[in-house]
Structure 1
Amino acid sequence: MNTKEFKTYADKEQFVQGVFSNIAKNYDLMNTVLSFGQDYFWRKFSVKAMNIGPHQRVLDVACGTCVFTKEALRQEPTLKVEALDFNSEMLDQGRVRIEDAGLIDQVNLVQGDAMALPYADNTFDAAMSGFAMRNVPDIKQVLSEMQRVVKPGGKVVVLELAKPSMFGFKQLYNFYFSYILPIIGKLSKDNSSYAWLPESLRRYPHQSEILEIWKSLGYENATYHELTGGIVAVHEGVVPENSIVNNK
């Protein structure tokens, strides 16, 4: 499928499923290479932003290979984490990581849809997601679902690639994504999947526009932090006592 032709939500879901099935085994290595080793620090910052406490229950939306989940448990070992992803190959890699770390008793891995989370309202103390929003059919719907399943007063935190604005760095970053990344994709023998990365970023709104979506949903104290020169942005917000979603 041409990545520029998604006529329906189902078209994008099918395409993205294929992308992640193809790259699942090399996903973590490629993330580290492509981010020059910064991805660990981005996740560390994001988990801290959730302000999680002992024995809380946290949702990891589009958990992928459970790197985010593992970092949350590193920072707060008493957590219970629900790790949800729509791709079985990514979940298989995540299960291996969690089992190898001896954390399987604290993590429940679920294959499910971020657009329609299979949980009751006000189930979790906090929710997080990393590098998923570029791939979902409807950003607002996913953020709405995350708000719905988190208790009032709980934090929702999302880490995603962003669009640097600093002159010079912006041009260098765009060059890297447009010309260097496709070469890396060819070396990985999966050019079509890695071609989606710059394309998905091109389609993704600027971090300031994403913030407006958070505000439109009624998140309190909604804000974002740009890291590493704006390569990524960490959006966060607090679920209000009388949220739009919880009072539908």
Structure 2
Amino acid sequence: MKKEFKSFEEKEYFVQGVFSNIAKHYDVMNTVLSFGQDYFWRKFAVQRMNLKASDRVLDLACGTCVFTKEALRQVPSLKVEALDFNAEMLAQGEIRLEQAGLLERVNLVQGDAMSLPYADNTFDAAMSGFAMRNVPDIKQVMKEMQRVVKPGGKVVVLELAKPTMFGFKQLYYFYFTYILPIIGKMSKDNSSYAWLPESLRRYPHQTEILKIWQDIGFEQAVYTELTGGIVAVHEGVVPETKK
């Protein structure tokens, strides 16, 4: 699948459709496609935030709220604002939180990651998982995350990455290009799952993403590769003086 977008709005409309189609089986397929590693990736990412009991946290592009649930598992007294632009994904997130008895601890919001509906310095920390490949403009979204987090607060982003180890890299891309679409057919929505390898192809290498963080002005900006570089966890501290 090689799709070209003429505008940010066109990509946003397309991605809306993708996630509306896969919302009900998104979590099961994620576990299958990651060989069950997605839980450990999220656990590590939340640990990197160094959250405190009284913190107010933004889960940007929260999807089905798996990341939110993990944050509350680690720090049950958190106040979490879970925002996503897709109503179907939020509906699945609401079901997940209600079943876990966590719904009263989370405020679910349908909103735009490119223009967050919050005042400056609203949150103590912010996180996002597997969303940056799908946003219209990575730099704009990261600026918004920085804007709404207080100076000194942590921002952590978990996303698919591009392995560099010879042999493993070739195997990984073979899986994404040929095996993943077959698995996608099991969900009866091959076209939506075809977007996954395409979105990874378009997404910058983790070193390029780090450069974006540094250019925006995040302090102590670093990334950690997990599972041979299949994913990367980027993190940074919001500076006292924001750009």
- Partner residue, 1:216: 215
- Partner residue, 1:8: 7
Distance in 2 of aligned mates of 1:180 and 1:67: 25
Question: Structure 1 residue 136: deviation in Å?
Answer: 0.2
Distance in 2 of aligned mates of 1:187 and 1:93: 20
Question: Structure 1 residue 92: deviation in Å?
Answer: 0.1
- Partner residue, 1:228: 227
Distance in 1 of aligned mates of 2:56 and 2:186: 40
- Partner residue, 1:18: 17
- The aligned runs of 1:18-167 (5 Å cut-off) are 18-167=17-166
Q: Which runs of 5+ in 2 are unaligned?
A: none
Distance in 2 of aligned mates of 1:149 and 1:45: 23
Residue 174 of structure 1 aligns with an amino acid whose one-letter code is Y
SS of the equivalent of 1:223 reads strand
SS of the equivalent of 1:233 reads strand
Identity %: 80
Question: Structure 1 residue 114: deviation in Å?
Answer: 0.3
Residue 22 of structure 1 aligns with an amino acid whose one-letter code is N
Question: Structure 1 residue 3: deviation in Å?
Answer: 5.0
Deviations 1:163-207 (A, max 9, x none): 000000000000000000011112221010000000000000000
Residue 228 of structure 1 aligns with an amino acid whose one-letter code is T
- Partner residue, 1:171: 170
Residue 113 of structure 1 aligns with an amino acid whose one-letter code is D
SS of the equivalent of 2:128 reads strand
SS of the equivalent of 1:237 reads strand
Distance in 1 of aligned mates of 2:211 and 2:73: 32
Q: Which runs of 5+ in 1 are unaligned?
A: none
Number of residues of Structure 1 aligned to a counterpart in Structure 2: 243
Distance in 1 of aligned mates of 2:151 and 2:204: 27
Say yes or no: does 1:239 pair with 2:238: yes
- Partner residue, 1:196: 195
Question: Structure 1 residue 243: deviation in Å?
Answer: 1.4
TM-score, normalised relative to structure 2: 0.99
Deviations 1:119-164 (A, max 9, x none): 0000000000000000000000000000000000000000000000
Distance in 2 of aligned mates of 1:3 and 1:95: 33
Distance in 2 of aligned mates of 1:94 and 1:185: 22
RMSD: 0.7
